[in-house]
A = this chain, B = another copy of it.
Amino acid sequence: MTLEMVAARAGVARQTVSNAINAPELLRPQTLERVRRAIDELNYRPHRAAQALRTRASRLIGYGIRPGAGRVASPVLDEFLHAISDAADRAGYRVVLFSAPQDEELDRYQQLLDEQGADAFVLSGTDRGDPRQAWLHKKGVPFVAFGRTWTGRDVGDWVDIDGAAGTAAAVRHLASLGHRGIGFLGWPRGSGAGDDRARGWHEAMRALGLPVRNRRVESPGDLGPATEAADRLLDGGATAVIAASDALAVGCYQALHRRGRTPGRDVAVVGFDDSPTATMLWPPLSSLAQPIEAVGRECVRLLLDRLNGVERPAEHVLLAPELVVRDSI
């Protein structure tokens, strides 16, 4: 099925059919109608490779995945991919996956560009000093990142979760219930997202005039270490705990159980991520849900700007997580 065949059926020239699809305003209404009917009848769809060859645009968005990272990589990747793929689809783009082992990451991006296998990229799992942003920016390749580089010198568009807004909202919610001893159970300083979430807690506490001294603890790991860190908060008399992740919140649950206390009834606990685990705990864990769907949509929106040649300074979008209240409060 080609343009030529549609053209024959509609009794017009090849180019006229092409125009009917790409620039319908050029056709006389009755011609357009005739061509459209032929397209429908034949169920014609343009051949993507031919379009790509001629227009030098693949209409594909590259998404590099780091093999071996396995299930720990990013628990939300799944949903994020759904979201960007869905949003891209609506704009006529598709997401193509490629493997990008960390040691030859940039080479793989280069390869995709060389073979014109993608017009743009979506990055995720960005961490402090990720080289990809600067590299892509220098090459003038459109891209958007889910996550900041935390260097303060971001050169491209990004969308991220406003961790600070999330923890701050949790603080305010807990304070409105009468809590004054609200602790923060986080990771060691140095990680961008971790520090951000801690900051939100800290600022909201100060804004409310609540004491922060000895109310912040750091856990180097998820299970045992988190339990010990939570112990310190509880020893200090905290009546509520906000954790930087659901996994850390589980540590707090353990610490409470060991003391014969019950999350929710005795001490309020709030996690972060709203992972599937949250509803499986008892009592169900309240958590800050990341609006991943919205992140994906925003990423694609920003990317489409670039793909359409819109000139504007780098845009940064922060989306606030939503506190999902369950019985742990």
**Residue from A52, A73, A280 with most neighbouring chain B CB atoms (10 Å):** A280
What residues on B are CB-neighbors of A50 within 8 Å? 49, 53
A70 touches B82 (CB 8 A): yes
CA distance A289 to B78 in the complex (A): 19
Query: Is there a chain B Cβ closer than 8 Å to A111's Cβ?
Result: yes
> Do residues A45 and B115 form an inter-chain contact, with CB atoms below 8 A?
yes
Which residue, of A47, A49, A52, A276, has the highest number of chain B Cβ atoms within 10 A?
A49
Is A117 on the interface with B (CB-CB < 8 A)? Answer: yes
A residues apposed to B, CB below 8 Å: 1, 43-50, 52-53, 58, 60, 65, 67, 69-71, 73-75, 77-79, 81-82, 85-86, 89, 94-99, 111, 114-117, 222-223, 246-247, 250, 253-254, 257, 275-277, 279-282, 293
Nearest-CB residue, chain B, relative to A253: B282
Closest to A43 in B: B114
- Complex CA distance for A6 and B53, rounded to whole angstroms: 19
> Hey, which chain B residues are within 8 Å of A78, CB to CB?
71, 73-75, 77-78
Which residues of chain B are within 8 angstroms of A117 by Cβ–Cβ distance? Answer: 48, 94
Which of B45, B49, B85, B257 lies in contact with A58, CB distance below 8 A? B49
Please determine whether B53 and A49 come into contact, CB atoms closer than 8 angstroms.
yes
Q: Which B-chain residue is minimally distant from A258 (CB atoms)?
A: B282
A sample of 18 inter-chain contacts (CB < 8 A) reads A45-B111, A45-B114, A46-B115, A48-B115, A52-B52, A60-B96, A67-B86, A69-B82, A71-B78, A73-B78, A78-B78, A85-B97, A89-B99, A96-B97, A97-B97, A247-B280, A254-B282, A276-B277
Give the distance in Å from the alpha carbon of A281 to the alpha carbon of B246 in the complex: 12
In the bound complex, residues from chain B placing their C-beta under 8 Å from that of A115 are 45-48
- Write the nearest CB–CB distance from A57 to chain B, whole angstroms: 9
CB distance from A307 to the nearest CB of B (A): 17
How far, in whole Å, are A48 and B73 apart by their CA atoms in the complex? 30
